[in-house]
Structure 1
């Protein structure tokens, strides 16, 4: 992953041109998104925007199957060469992964064994995840009633799909975090990692949307 982050800096530098993204605007940062209320006391908020050359209903299923132990993370082909084949993101839509419901939990990357819980699903407009991570217990979801503990990292991740001109999608991703040291090195590193991995995601997703496998198989 460290090598991918280093390589990914190039993607971050060119992603806006490649995907014709206008970038994050003051309006993006100020607008309310589904899931903002999950971490009302967030100390860090990160917004990323990419424009994809497909309408929301075609982008939507690719987001539903995203994740660890599912379709993986969508790296572009030129970066996947350093990823073992079994860990590469899918390049097709898998019907068995397209059913996502409120309350589902899926494993997430990171230290320990964190999980993301589906908070809301509004097709094909928004998908929101919530996560609580107890650093004292391998970053697992804490016991009921301990979510406000300072040792518990709280996170929400909103994926908002807005129609754009030319039958395209403006994909707005927002991460909200409540963490103890919001201005420390860990926060700055987290912002860099998020920028790199999101830039890779936009590039990899754009590639997949141009492929013949961009739509589910008939009957899937």
Structure 2
């Protein structure tokens, strides 16, 4: 016999996951949600934040790219499936098509309200919500769940289950002719309790993986190391 009573084992079984969850919530998750960002960058407000009031999910990630904003912007302006791609894991978010490795003039035009396909089929998309060339690009996705059908709150009320999220890119000049890129996400949806669970278990880790990959690939492109 190992000397442990069944009650003690049950208590230990419950205590370990609870302790692990507490550590993740207090230490790991805040770092995951602010990867690369300074405390000041994470705390400040950005254009587009007001599009999702009462957001139950938010992240602020950042990196420094080796080129000025005027040279970074064209790569962001041509993002989208059936355009330049997303510069992340192409097999996951661009239908297996390689993202662009050069600036394509016909993909440089952007305007507020324009749709950028989020999937190669074109059945879902981001809408350009805020646009200030060489400074700010905020994309918004409003999707009914579980169908994934886009909707627009300007013309229809939110469905029974939905997600409403923004993905914002904010560029600032940095010393050495470089660019500080801060990426802010905010999201809300229904049912709220389920969305919060999905955020912690899936959406937040997935965003970290995809966003850091995009940072790396943008750095290679603007730095000319392809």
Tell me the matched-pair count: 188
Q: How far apart are 1:120 and its partner, in Å?
A: 1.8
Q: CA deviation at 1:107?
A: 1.5
8 Å CA contact retained: 1:134, 1:142 = no
CA contact (8 A) 1:114 1:141 kept: no
TM-score (norm 1): 0.76
**Partner residue in 2 for 1:184:** 197
| TM-superposed deviation, 1:210 | 2.2
Higher relative contact order, structure no. (Cα contacts within 8 Å, ≥ 6 residues apart) = 1
SS of the residue corresponding to residue 87 of structure 1 reads: coil
Could you say what secondary structure the match of 2:102 adopts? coil
In 2, distance between residues paired with 1:85 and 1:185? 23
In structure 2, the CA distance between the partners of 1:52 and 1:36, relative to structure 1 (3 Å rule), is same
In structure 2, list runs of 5 or more residues that go unmatched: 1-34
Secondary structure at the residue paired with 2:196? coil
Displacement of 1:86 = 6.5
Deviations 1:82-135 (A, max 9, x none): 99996000100000000000110122149x933111112111110111221011
Cα 1:87–1:173 change in 2 (3 A) is same
Computing the radius of gyration from Cα coordinates, the structure with the larger value is 2
Normalising by structure 2, report the TM-score.
Answer: 0.74
**Residue 208 of structure 1 pairs with residue 208 of structure 2:** no
Aligned counterpart in structure 1 of residue 118 of structure 2, from 108, 113, 135: 108
1: CA distance, partners of 2:170 / 2:43: 14
Q: Equivalents in 2 of 1:24, 1:176: separation in Å?
A: 16
Unaligned runs of 5+ in 1: 1-21, 214-220
Kindly provide the CA deviation profile for residues 41-87 of structure 1, in whole angstroms up to 9, marking residues without a partner as x.
Answer: 21000111011000111000100001111101214xxx779999960
